[in-house]
Chains A and B, each alone.
Chain A
Amino acid sequence: MSFPEPHVNPDAAAPGVDMSRRSFLRTSAVLASGLAAIAASLSPLRELDDYTSLDRFMQKYYKELTPEEMEKVLQRIAADVERQYGIRPHVRDLKPMNGVEFVYALNLTRCIGCRKCVHACVQENNQSRTPELQYIRVLRMPNGSLDIEKAEHNYAPESVPEKGHFYMPVQCQQCRNPPCVKVCPVHATWQETDGITVIDYDWCIGCRYCEAACPYWARRFNFTKPSIPKERLNPNMAYLGNRPRRQGVMEKCHFCIQRTRAGRYPACLEVCPAGARKFGNVLDPNSEVSYILRTKRVFIQLKEELGTAPRFFYYFDV
């Protein structure tokens, strides 16, 4: 390549030679500065270090992965986590159990609004601390009404419970008829046989349609790369559960899949000082939740009229 125009260039070299010294210097100077300019203008891409893994980019859809491929994916995730946090995690892909359908029941008479569940959840599920991303929102409402328009979730009194109020924690309701699943354009979220609506964080494109579709404000979006302090990372991870997320993907409560599919209670239940939270297999007639649904005043599924049929029930004593 030679430019500028050699035919008007007074420095033009002898016929047969394409380039004079001056035009060569000029050309290379222009070329060098052009390349430097391209490199500099692409510099913001360096911050996208999350996106560099070719393996992840080429990864197949969760439901199409063979067990061997899944094993490789889990190893890749473990290596990624170790590289970023310096902790070797225990990542599993837990499948739903046969004959199990999870149901949550929350006793509104007992909840004191202390928000311990919120933070136990953040700790268990490796959510971002700055900015803060929480799956559970505790609503404070005046007694005698159930008007969510009057709910307040920024309450900060000296001590709870406060007179004249009750508290209603809201998280993913694990609907039988989930609107969020219907709107997902890439099938990155779906309902499993045990009733948990899960998200494949590696398949999510971050369009946030599901967030708009959810009537319970239960889905959260990672606007930034989640920041989790190393010392607070929970190394017990599941693929569809609490493995660290990337920037630009949705997440939400998954009933602590890494615990509940291994037979344990979810973290929010374990930490509740008032025993307001009850969880179990509704297909087992002897489980706590079966007893509650049979005998207690189970008054709502939240926003029942929408026909989402939540698996999260609120009930009262007395």
Chain B
Amino acid sequence: MDERPPPARPQNHSSIAWVLRTLVVVFGGLAGAFLLNPWGRTAPLQPIPLVDPSFLDTATVRRSYANLVQAKEDLSDFDCYACHEKNKPPVLRFDAKQNLIIPSEHSDIVMGHGEHGRNNNCFNCHNEANLEQLQTRDGRVVKFQDSPQLCGSCHGPTFEDWEAGAHGRISGYWDRALGPYQRQQCVNCHNPHSPRFPSRKPAPGPHLLRPPISVPTAAADAH
């Protein structure tokens, strides 16, 4: 066609057109890619079930007599002289192996305090002369509400730790100037008749996004 070199302006135009066309293609390609998603969308995460609110509960393991008094709950279980006779200490009965025979009225009690079942006398702790009170081995009478004194009469070091706050639970304010704190008694966590801390179901462990890499099991490690 025309042999003359094209004028400067149109040449400029043609290069702009090329750039614009390329850009349109690039953006069009990107948009298409986002729409069609050829590399595959990441699978949505499976919702992890919320943890059972019981695992968030700050209550103690058990409720003590002092708790029940505080909460003004039914204390008829603790009315000893509804069944027992006053001024007549109950008689303890033992089987051939010197194990305490627990009367059917107290069948909820599991005797498991101390090794070898030797701590099998109710009146090691209960006051036989007044069943509504406790007694230490050296004869001090202790009220139910003050039971840590009784526990401490045998478990001295633990009692010391408890008094200092190193054993047992304290909740509320660490800064005593800013608010109240609450110290739990021995019997809020330990059943005095079988004081070993009860086992419980653990809260769910961490949920992994991928299946776990196998770890050496405890059984394989045991020697």
Which residues of the other chain, A, contact B28 by a CB distance below 8 angstroms? 33, 37
Asked if B200 and A263 sit within 8 Å, CB to CB, the answer is no
Interface size class of B (residues with CB under 8 A): 35 or more
Asked if B48 and A41 make an inter-chain contact with CB atoms under 8 angstroms apart, the answer reads no
* B:190-207 near A, CB below 8 Å: 197, 199-207
One of A3, A131, A264, A288 near B164 (C-beta < 8 A): A288
A34 touches B179 (CB 8 A): no
Distance in Å from the Cβ of A210 to the closest Cβ of chain B?
Answer: 20
| A307 interfacial by beta-carbon distance below 8 Å | no
Interface string of B153-195 (1 = CB under 8 A from A): 0000010010011111111111101110000100001000000
Task: Pick out which of these stretches binds chain B: A4-12, A57-65, A78-86.
Answer: A4-12
Q: Which of A267-318 contact B (CB under 8 A)?
A: 269-275, 278-281, 287-288, 291-292, 295-296, 317
Nearest CB on B from A129, distance (A): 6
Stretch of B8-16, B108-116, B120-128, B136-144 with 4 or more beta carbons under 8 angstroms from chain A: B8-16
Map CB proximity to B onto A133-174 as digits: 1 under 8 Å, 0 otherwise. Answer: 010010010100000001011111111110011000000000
Tell whether, in the assembled complex, residue B206 and residue A37 are in contact, meaning their CB atoms are under 8 Å apart: no
Q: In residues 4-50 of chain B, which contact A (Cβ within 8 Å)?
A: 6-7, 10, 13-14, 16-17, 20-21, 23-24, 27-28, 30-31, 34-35, 45-48, 50
Which residues of A sit under 8 angstroms from B184, Cβ to Cβ?
Answer: 275
Q: Which of A34, A160, A232, A291 contacts B24 (CB 8 A)?
A: A34
Question: Of B13, B161, B170, B201, which is within 8 A of A2 by CB?
Answer: B13
Q: How far is the CB of A294 from chain B (nearest CB, A)?
A: 9
On whether the beta carbons of A115 and B14 are closer than 8 Å, the reply is no
Given the interface pairs A6-B13, A131-B45, A273-B189, the reply to whether A156 lies near B6 with Cβ below 8 Å is: no
Q: B71 on the interface (CB 8 Å rule)?
A: no
Whether the pair A142, B218 counts as a contact (CB closer than 8 A) is yes
Tell me, yes or no, whether A184 is within 8 Å of chain B by CB.
no
Number of residue pairs spanning A and B whose beta carbons lie under 8 angstroms apart: 192
CA distance A34 to B200 in the complex (A): 65
A156, B13: Cβ atoms under 8 Å? no
Question: Which one of B50, B169, B171 contacts A232 once the chains associate, using CB atoms below 8 Å?
Answer: B50
Give the size range of A's interface with the partner: 35 or more
Point out the residue from A5, A40, A112, A264 that lies within 8 Å of B35, measured CB to CB: A40
Closest Cβ neighbor of B184 among chain A residues: A275
* B174 adjacent to A260 (CB under 8 Å): yes
A281 to B165, CA, bound (A): 13
Q: Assuming the A-B contacts A119-B51, A123-B56, A265-B174, are A7 and B197 also in contact, with contact meaning beta carbons closer than 8 angstroms in the complex? A: no
A34: contacting residue among B23, B173, B175, CB under 8 A? B23
